[in-house]
C-alpha cells in the first residue's frame, strides 16, 4: 500500500476508512464522508438495475435499466473522486491559514490564498450536491420499474443520496463567507437551496413509490447533454 498521506480513499478498506474518519486527522471529514455515502447510494441503484435486467417481467423497462446501471456506475466513481477532491481542497485551505501574516504584504498574500482556497472548498461539495440530484433521480425512476425484491434498496439509495446532499450542502454554506464575494455567495446559497429542494422532492417520491409497491408505466431514460 502507498503512503497513507497519498492513498486515495477508494484504495482503503472500509475498516481503514472508518478508522481514519474517527481519528484526529483533519481528513477525511464530513465532505468526504458525504461523497462516500453518495457513492454507496449510486452503487445500490446500479445493483437494483443489474438485478432487474434480462428479466421478462421488466423487459418494457430495459432501456431505463441499462441507463441506470451505466449512469449510476459512473456516478459511484465520481463520488469517490469527489471524496478525495474534498480532502485536497481542505488541505489547501488549511495550508493557506498557516501562511505568515506579520506584514501587510503577508496579510494580502494570505487573504488572496484563503479566498481562492475557500472557493475551491465550496465548489467541490457543490458538485457533490449537484450529482446527488442525478443519484436520487435515478432511484426514483427505478421505483416501480425494477425488481420488487430489491425495492427497499432504492429507498436506502434515496436516503443516502439525500443525506449526502445535505452534508455536502453544509460544507458549501460554511465555506462561503471566507470567499469574500457577497454576490457569488448569494448565488451559491440560492443554488444550494434549489438543489436540495429537488433532491428532497425526488427522494420523497422514490420512497412513496417503493412503499406503494405499484408497477409504474415505462419511462424513457434521460437524454445525455
Query: Tens digits of per-residue pLDDT, 101-133?
Result: 999 998 999 999 999 999 999 999 999 999 999
User: Residue 146: phi, psi to the nearest 5?
Assistant: -150, 180
Model pLDDT, residue 206: 98
Q: Does residue 148 sit within a domain?
A: yes
**Nearest Cα residue to 140 out of 192, 72, 70, 210:** 210
Model pLDDT, residue 223: 75
Model pLDDT, residue 4: 42
Q: How far apart are CA 31 and CA 216, in angstroms?
A: 35
What residue numbers bound the domain in which 179 lies?
Answer: 25-212
* pLDDT at position 202 over 50: yes
Q: Does residue 79 sit within a domain?
A: yes
* pLDDT at position 51 over 90: yes
Model pLDDT, residue 106: 87
Model pLDDT, residue 26: 85
Average pLDDT, the chain: 94
Model pLDDT, residue 225: 55
Q: Does residue 38 sit within a domain?
A: yes
Residue 92's alpha-carbon distances to 89, 105, 116, in angstroms, are 5, 20, 9
Q: Does residue 72 sit within a domain?
A: yes
Q: Does residue 89 sit within a domain?
A: yes
Q: How many domains does the chain have?
A: 1
CB 175 within 8 A of CB 96: no
User: Residue 99: phi, psi to the nearest 5?
Assistant: -65, 150
CATH number of residue 170's parent domain: 1.20.120.680
Q: Give the residue with greater pLDDT, 162 vs 180.
A: 162
Q: Does residue 54 sit within a domain?
A: yes
Q: How far apart are CA 59 and CA 179, in angstroms?
A: 51
* pLDDT at position 189 over 80: yes
Q: Does residue 223 sit within a domain?
A: no
Model pLDDT, residue 222: 87
Q: Residue 1 — very low, low, confident or very high, per pLDDT cuts 50/70/90?
A: very low
Q: Does residue 56 sit within a domain?
A: yes
Q: How far apart are CA 23 and CA 120, in angstroms?
A: 24
Q: How far apart are CA 34 and CA 204, in angstroms?
A: 19
Amino acid at each position: 500500500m502507498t503512503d497513507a498521506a497519498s492513498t486515495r480513499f477508494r484504495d482503503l478498506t472500509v475498516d481503514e476508512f472508518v478508522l481514519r474518519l474517527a481519528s484526529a486527522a483533519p481528513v477525511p471529514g464530513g465532505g468526504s464522508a458525504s461523497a462516500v455515502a453518495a457513492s454507496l447510494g449510486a452503487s445500490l441503484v446500479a445493483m437494483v438495475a443489474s438485478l432487474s435486467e434480462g428479466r421478462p417481467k421488466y423487459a418494457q423497462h430495459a432501456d431505463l435499466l441499462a441507463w441506470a446501471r451505466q449512469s449510476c456506475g459512473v456516478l459511484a466513481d465520481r463520488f469517490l473522486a469527489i471524496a478525495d477532491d474534498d480532502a485536497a481542497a481542505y488541505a489547501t485551505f488549511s495550508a493557506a491559514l498557516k501562511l505568515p501574516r506579520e506584514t501587510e504584504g503577508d496579510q494580502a498574500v494570505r487573504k488572496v490564498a484563503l479566498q481562492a482556497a475557500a472557493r475551491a472548498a465550496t465548489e467541490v461539495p457543490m458538485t457533490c450536491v449537484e450529482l446527488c440530484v442525478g443519484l436520487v433521480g435515478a432511484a426514483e425512476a427505478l421505483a416501480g420499474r425494477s425488481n420488487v425484491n430489491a425495492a427497499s434498496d432504492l429507498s436506502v439509495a434515496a436516503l443516502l443520496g439525500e443525506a449526502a446532499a445535505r452534508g455536502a450542502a453544509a460544507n458549501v454554506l460554511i465555506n462561503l463567507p471566507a470567499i469574500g464575494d457577497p454576490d457569488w455567495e448569494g448565488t451559491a446559497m440560492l443554488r444550494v437551496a434549489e438543489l436540495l429542494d429537488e433532491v428532497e422532492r425526488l427522494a420523497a417520491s422514490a420512497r412513496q413509490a417503493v412503499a406503494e409497491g405499484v408497477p409504474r408505466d415505462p419511462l424513457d431514460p434521460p437524454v445525455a447533454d
